């Protein structure tokens, strides 16, 4: 019996359609996330709201439509991958703490924008990048 949250299959299907060969939301299983493309994204010892605001500012020009968001909390059986429209992303990030009791950028994060074909990844080692794949209509 598969005990994963029901959203995982849909989320993984979207990811694999955008990034060919992606088999899960584990960063080392997403083709194209090569070491040389990461850039510094300071997280530690910063105001968490400033980190979240910077993350939103990084994401918004790159995303549109329905987003798949996978965070540390997503791996809890009761949570799973999260789906949010790009225009609601800033308020989603702002309310994340109240919903899950942790920061959105509190570990690895993956945001998939099928409409733009972009996948944004944050690595817990204070790195961020964007890779581009195929666009798909949802």
Each residue of 43-74: pLDDT tens digit?
Answer: 999 999 999 999 999 999 999 999 999 999 99
CA distances, 3 to each of 8, 38, 69, 72 (Å): 10, 33, 20, 17
Task: Give domain status of residue 20, yes or no.
Answer: yes
pLDDT at 76: 86
pLDDT grade for 1, boundaries at 50, 70 and 90 = very low
- Domain carrying residue 72: 7-132
In this predicted structure, what is the pLDDT of residue 3? 57
Residue 138 belongs to some domain of the structure: no
Average pLDDT over residues 11-28: 96
Cross-strand partners of 131: 119
Inside any domain, residue 1: no
Whether the per-residue pLDDT at 115 is higher than 60: the answer is yes
Pick left, alpha or beta for residue 61 (phi over 0 → left; psi -120 to 50 → alpha; otherwise beta).
alpha
Record the pTM.
Answer: 0.95
- CA torsion angle 38 28 48 89 (round to 10): 90
Residue 2 lies inside a defined structural domain of this protein = no
Question: How many beta carbons lie within 10 A of that of residue 15, not counting itself?
Answer: 23
Q: Is residue 102 part of a domain?
A: yes
Mean pLDDT along residues 36-41: 97
Query: Looking at residue 17, what is its pLDDT?
Result: 97
pLDDT bucket at 6, cuts 50 / 70 / 90: confident
pLDDT of residue 110: 98
Total domains in the chain come to 1
Does the pLDDT value for residue 87 go beyond 90? yes
Decide if 58 is inside a domain. Answer: yes
């Amino acid at each position: 019996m598969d005990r994963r949250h029901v959203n995982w299959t849909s989320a993984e299907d979207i990811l694999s359609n955008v990034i060919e060969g992606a088999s899960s939301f584990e960063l080392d299983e997403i083709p194209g996330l090569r070491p040389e493309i990461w850039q510094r994204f300071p997280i530690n010892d910063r105001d968490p709201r400033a980190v979240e605001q910077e993350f939103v500012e990084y994401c918004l020009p790159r995303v549109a439509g329905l987003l798949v968001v996978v965070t540390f909390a997503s791996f809890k059986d009761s949570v799973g991958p999260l789906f949010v429209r790009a225009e609601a992303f800033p308020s989603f990030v702002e309310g994340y703490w109240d919903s899950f009791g942790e920061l959105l950028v509190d570990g690895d994060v993956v945001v998939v924008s099928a409409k733009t074909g972009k996948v944004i990844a944050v690595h817990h080692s204070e790195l961020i990048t964007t890779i581009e794949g195929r666009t798909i209509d949802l």
